[in-house]
Amino acid sequence: MKEEPIISVIVPVYKVEQYLSRCVSSILSQTFADFELLLIDDGSPDRCGEICDEWASKDYRVRVFHQENFGVSVARNRGLDHATGKYVVFVDPDDWILPDYCLGLYNSQAAYSGRGLVIQGMLCRRTDGTSLPSLSLPDRYLPFSSIGKSFAENNICEMGYAVSKIYARSIIEEFSIRFDENIHCLEDLLFMYQYLLHCDYLVLNHMQNYVYVKHPFSLSHRIHSFESEYCCFVKYQQLLAEMMKVWKIPVGDMVVTVNSMLVPFRRALKSDYQPDRTIPREMRVKHLKRMISESRDVFLKYYHPVFKTDKLGKVLLGFNCYILYDFYIRLLFRLNIGPVFYGPKHMY
- Report yes or no on whether pTM surpasses 0.85: yes
Centre a 10 Å sphere on the Cβ of residue 347 and count the other Cβ atoms it contains.
Answer: 13
Instruction: Determine the pLDDT at residue 252.
Output: 86
Instruction: Determine the pLDDT at residue 218.
Output: 59
CATH number of the domain enclosing 138: 3.90.550.10
Q: Which domain holds residue 268?
A: 223-334
Centre a 10 Å sphere on the Cβ of residue 206 and count the other Cβ atoms it contains.
Answer: 12
Centre a 10 Å sphere on the Cβ of residue 21 and count the other Cβ atoms it contains.
Answer: 14
Same domain, 278 and 199: no
Same domain, 57 and 35: yes
Q: Which is nearest to 163 in space by CA: 64, 78, 88, 79?
A: 88
| Any domain includes 1 | no
Same domain, 207 and 243: no
Domain boundary among 193, 220, 247: 220
| Any domain includes 181 | yes
- Residue ranges in the chain assigned as alpha helix (H): 17-28, 48-58, 72-82, 101-110, 149-153, 169-174, 187-196, 226-247, 255-271, 281-294, 296-302, 308-318, 322-334
Cα–Cα separations (whole angstroms), residue 202 to 142, 192, 221: 5, 11, 29
Q: What is the pLDDT of residues 219-254, one digit of tens each?
A: 556 889 999 999 999 999 999 999 999 999 998 889
Domain boundary among 203, 220, 237: 220
| Any domain includes 325 | yes
| Any domain includes 299 | yes
Same domain, 188 and 76: yes
| Any domain includes 76 | yes
Q: Within 13 Å, how many C-alpha atoms sit on residue 118's CB side?
A: 30
Same domain, 216 and 273: no
Torsion of CA 258, 228, 222, 71, to 10 degrees: 120
Same domain, 209 and 65: yes
Same domain, 215 and 256: no
Same domain, 244 and 318: yes
Same domain, 212 and 292: no
Helices (H) and strands (E) in the chain, counts: 13, 12
| Any domain includes 348 | no
Domain boundary among 220, 244, 266: 220
Contact by Cβ (8 Å): 128, 68: no
Alpha carbon 268 to its chain centroid, in Å, reads 17
Q: How far apart are CA 181 and CA 241, in angstroms?
A: 22
Low-confidence ranges of the chain (pLDDT < 50): 1, 341-348
| Any domain includes 340 | no
| Any domain includes 343 | no
Centre a 10 Å sphere on the Cβ of residue 326 and count the other Cβ atoms it contains.
Answer: 19
Bond preceding residue 339 cis, omega within 30 of 0: yes
Same domain, 282 and 247: yes
Same domain, 77 and 209: yes
Task: Map residue 278 onto helix, strand or coil.
Answer: coil
Same domain, 295 and 181: no
How many folded domains does the chain comprise?
2
| Sheet of strand 122-126, all strands in order from the earlier edge strand to the far edge | 96-97, 210-214, 122-126, 131-135
